[in-house]
């Protein structure tokens, strides 16, 4: 039975790498995929991984009907044996419904990849719809780690290394961007305390936390 699968996790946990591996293994066996993405850091119409791999993809527009797009593609003699949708958190809820329809009415597997929650730990609307509709939600096996060594479960937005909680939900960016707006993955404890690697380092160096010598 074809499935809608949501591979979810924090930023930097290997989602795009897995998407590229699925694409590679299937195309090596003569299958042809339809690859959708939206706002990848590598630029328009790209699906890229931090491991350096990149492939071309269809850049999804705001009001694009993904079901209609596939029907049109197939009716013009194109093939689509499976669908990959990266950065799926940026898709509109209606577009996730269209992907579910692709599975149910066109009998095509859809593999969606995305972060579940934003920098305020609120669900992205597209991810919420995926959790509601997916046949399976898969958490990636390679865990991203918080600076403390615990599994990272949350995404923080940082400016100059400090966590911020105000701003637009969507700001395309990357981890390890200390100077500018960037992101850092944290465990829940440190996300709640707004404690990033930089602020933890700074407080460890602060005289306030040095052990007091007994007089
Ligand atoms: N230099 C490197 N050597 C080995 N693995 C790396 C390197 N850089 C990144 N990675 C791996 O790539 C993962 C990020 O992959 P990516 O597909 O870009 O993540 P996502 O799409 O989830 O944001 C990291 O968690 C890490 O395991
Ligand atoms: C937490 C958060 C992230 N984003 C953006 C930042 C990146 O461009 C993507 C995530 O890409 P990745 O391949 O999973 O690293 O999402 C955002 O716009 N808003 C947020 O709150």
- Predicted-assembly ipTM surpassing the 0.95 threshold: yes
Q: Which ligand is nearest to the CA of 41?
A: 2
Confidence category of residue 142, pLDDT binned at 50, 70, 90: confident
Supply the mean pLDDT for the chain: 95
57 has a pLDDT exceeding 70: yes
pTM score: 0.94
Q: What is the number of the ligand 1 atom nearest to the C-alpha of 9?
A: 22
Q: Is 184 a catalytic residue?
A: no
Q: In whole angstroms, how far apart are CA 102 and each of 70, 73, 125?
A: 8, 12, 19
Confidence category of residue 215, pLDDT binned at 50, 70, 90: very low
- Convert 96-125 to b/e letters by CB count within 10 Å (16 or more is b): bebbbbbbeeeebbbbbbbbbbbbebeebb
Domain layout of the chain by residue ranges:
1-142, 143-206
What's the CATH code, domain 1-142? 3.40.50.300
pLDDT at 213: 57
* Separation of CA 37 from chain center: 11
- 211 Cα–ligand 1 center, Å: 38
What's the CATH code, domain 143-206? 3.30.60
Comparing C-alpha atoms, which of 109, 64, 72 is closest to residue 90? 64
67 has a pLDDT exceeding 90: yes
Residues with CB under 6 A from ligand 1: 11-17, 49-51, 142, 144
> Cβ(60)–Cβ(47) under 8 Å?
no
Nearest CA to ligand 2 atom 19: 170
């Amino acid at each position: 039975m074809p499935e809608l699968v949501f591979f979810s996790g924090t930023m930097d946990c290997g989602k795009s790498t897995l998407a590229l591996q699925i694409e590679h293994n299937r195309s090596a066996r003569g299958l042809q995929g339809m690859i959708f993405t939206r706002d990848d850091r590598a630029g328009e119409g790209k699906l890229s991984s931090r491991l350096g791999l990149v492939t071309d993809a269809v850049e999804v527009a705001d009001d694009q009907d993904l079901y209609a797009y596939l029907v049109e593609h197939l009716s013009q003699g194109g093939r689509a044996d499976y669908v990959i949708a990266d950065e799926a958190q940026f898709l509109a809820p209606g577009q996730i419904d269209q992907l579910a329809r692709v599975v149910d009415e066109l009998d095509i597997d859809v593999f969606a990849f995305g972060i579940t929650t934003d920098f305020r730990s609120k669900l992205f609307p597209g991810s919420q719809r995926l959790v509601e509709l997916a046949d399976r939600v898969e958490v990636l096996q390679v865990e991203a780690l918080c600076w403390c060594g615990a599994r990272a479960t949350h995404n923080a937005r940082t400016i100059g290394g400090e966590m911020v909680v105000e701003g637009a939900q969507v700001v395309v960016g990357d981890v390890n961007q200390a100077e500018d707006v960037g992101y850092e993955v944290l465990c829940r404890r440190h996300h709640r305390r707004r404690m990033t690697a930089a602020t933890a380092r700074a407080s460890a160096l602060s005289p306030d936390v040095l052990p007091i010598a007994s007089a």
